[in-house]
Amino acid sequence: MKKIIINGGRPLKGEVTISGAKNSVVALIPATILSDEIVTLDGVPDISDVASLIEIMTLMGATVERDGETLVIDPRGVKDMPMPFGKINSLRASYYFYGSLLGRYGRATVGLPGGCDLGPRPIDLHLKAFEAMGAQMTMDGTSMNLSTNGEQLHGTGIYMDTVSVGATINTILAAVKAKGRTVIENAAREPEIIDVVTLLNNMGAHIRGAGTDIITIEGVDYLHGTRHQVIPDRIEAGTYIAMAAAIGQGIQINNVLYEHLESFIAKLEEMGVRMIISEDSIFVEKQEALRAVHIKTSPYPGFATDLQQPLTPLLLTANGKGTIIDTIYQKRVNHVAELMRMGATIETVGDRIVYHGPNKLTGAPVKATDLRAGAALVIAGLMAEGQTEITNIEFILRGYSHIIEKLQQLGADIALVEEV
């Protein structure tokens, strides 16, 4: 069993460089299945989700070469076969294989996806879109079969009942090689969608409107190879900015795009956090006397649900009382009980989290219940007096590239320990 041991209370300073976006790359890798030539991705983060995707791609017949942060993918050998179930279940984003396999072969057989348990993430939206384009779904035990029965997928108008990044990307993947025009209304607007569309358009797809709520796809027959730079991970960036504000003595965060974090940074400024924002970096100064604020998550460009947990330890340092309401994943409250074990004045009341500050945290044994809760506990451990031991850390390694090394370089006393 692996765990993270932190001896807290040490001041952190220096620089940290943000890796490529996890939520982009988990869609970019399956998207390459649609290509008729070799695709190269640069800036690929070193996280376990990527390793799982490479393994799935290889099992399906693709050739994948990895050199540092570069992946060279030759998808031409990918076979029309059921997906390897064991791997799929550990990985939420495995559902992007539905869209790309449907788009390439007109059928896909996949196990149901895994990932962090954050409550309902309706796959129904995806299925509704695929069915509108001519695919039919049948269930077979724990696997799902999608098929067009030998016909080509056809373009159509699709209205998304709720704003969903996953369903928007999956519909785009299925539509790229479909016959005719597909129009997605009420589409999600996240930067990761723009990133996926940039890759596809550079391969020869005809997609307009990414980043707006109406996306139009004109189907094409052939996609050629390309080389693509993954966007920086805005959630990793927000996590390090929150940590720097909570315990930093002056930390510069490099490879970060301010426009992807505007609502998050606006909240920090409302708290009184002092930052110097440059074109591709943010310098976070040493803070004092922060104010409590109310957080309400909403789809992009609103406050990201993925950042409410990493921000919570910083909120605990602020003066006053505040609330957090997550409108996207209501079950995203598992970090609260763990922070209470460290002495935080925080609780869940109905559908919201209520906190009172400032708090002095003390080290304790805690458990990461999901990826972003794990990040919150790492920050809390760095702030706390004494030793914090975090278990269940596989979740953290799923989404934060070289987190231990990056924090050690800033001066943190943190180690990954393997217990036999």
The answer to whether 135 and 152 are in contact (CB under 8 A) is no
Q: What is the pLDDT of residue 88?
A: 60
Residue 296 phi/psi, 5° resolution? Answer: -135, 120
User: Residues marked as binding for phosphoenolpyruvate?
Assistant: 22-23
Structure tokens at 265: 């940074």
For residue 122, what pLDDT is reported?
66
pLDDT computed for residue 79 by the predictor: 92
What are the chain's domains?
2-19+232-418 (3.65.10.10), 22-229 (3.65.10.10)
Q: Which residues of the chain have pLDDT under 70?
A: 84-93, 111-122
Structure tokens, 303: 């406050």
Q: What is the pLDDT of residue 143?
A: 73
Quick one: which H or E segment has residue 147?
Answer: strand 143-147
* Res 139: pLDDT: 81
**Which entry of 21, 25, 116, 129 is annotated as an active-site residue?**
116
CB 99 within 8 A of CB 61: no
106 DSSP assignment: S
The predicted pLDDT at position 420 comes to 78
Residue 87, pLDDT score: 60
Instruction: Say what the pLDDT of residue 117 is.
Output: 62
φ/ψ of 312, rounded to 5, equals -55, -45
Q: Residues at the annotated binding site?
A: 22-23, 92, 121-125, 306, 328
CB atoms within 10 A of CB 42: 13
Distance CA 352, CA 188 (A): 24
Residue 237 catalytic? Answer: no
Residues 6+ apart with CB under 8 A from 257: 191, 231, 232, 234, 237, 280
